[in-house]
Amino acid sequence: DIQMTQSPSSLSASVGDRVIITCRASQSINNYLNWYQQKPGKVPKLLIYSVSSLKSGVPSRFSGSGSGTDFTLTISSLQPEDFATYYCQQTYRTMTFGQGTRLEIK
């Protein structure tokens, strides 16, 4: 199985900050890397698919990059509604999620 490791596991930041979350795969996963946002009590929401493609309707302050085994999710200027947990997901070999990164208000 392909393991996905996110860092950090939690992060405190302020509105307006630039935030970077990283995700590392245990082997190369080509471009089969997606990012989801989940707020407490809510269903996960797709933000980015195939490393860097922004889902329609997702604000442009979200962006993704990377290749091979190392990927990043960047939020360019944090907004109050961005405080949530973020998950990376590989679908190169079935499906695996990272453990999540909890983004909290500083």
Partner 1 sequence: QVQLVESGGGLVKPGGSLRLSCIGSGIDFSDDYMTWIRQAPGKGLEYISYISSASTNINYAESVKGRFTISRDNAENSLYLQMNSLRGEDTAVYYCARMVHDNCWFVDLWGQGTLVTVSS
Q: Site residues (CB under 8 A) for partner 1?
A: 1, 30-34, 36, 38, 43-44, 46, 49-50, 53, 55, 87, 89, 91-92, 94-100
Least Å from the CB of residue 89 to partner 1 = 7
- Minimum distance, C-beta of residue 15 to partner 1, in the bound complex (Å): 26
Residue number, 17 or 24, with CB nearest to partner 1: 24
CA-nearest of 2, 6, 17, 22 to 104 is 17
Rounded least distance, CB 6 to partner 1, Å: 9
Nearer to partner 1, 11 or 44 (CB): 44
Cβ-based nearer residue to partner 1, 63 or 100: 100
Task: State how far the Cα of 26 lies from the Cα of 63, in Å rounded to an integer.
Answer: 22
Choose among 35, 46, 40: nearest CA to 4.
Answer: 35
3-state helix, strand, coil in the chain (%, to 5): 5, 50, 45
User: Sign (positive/negative) of CA torsion 86, 95, 41, 9?
Assistant: negative
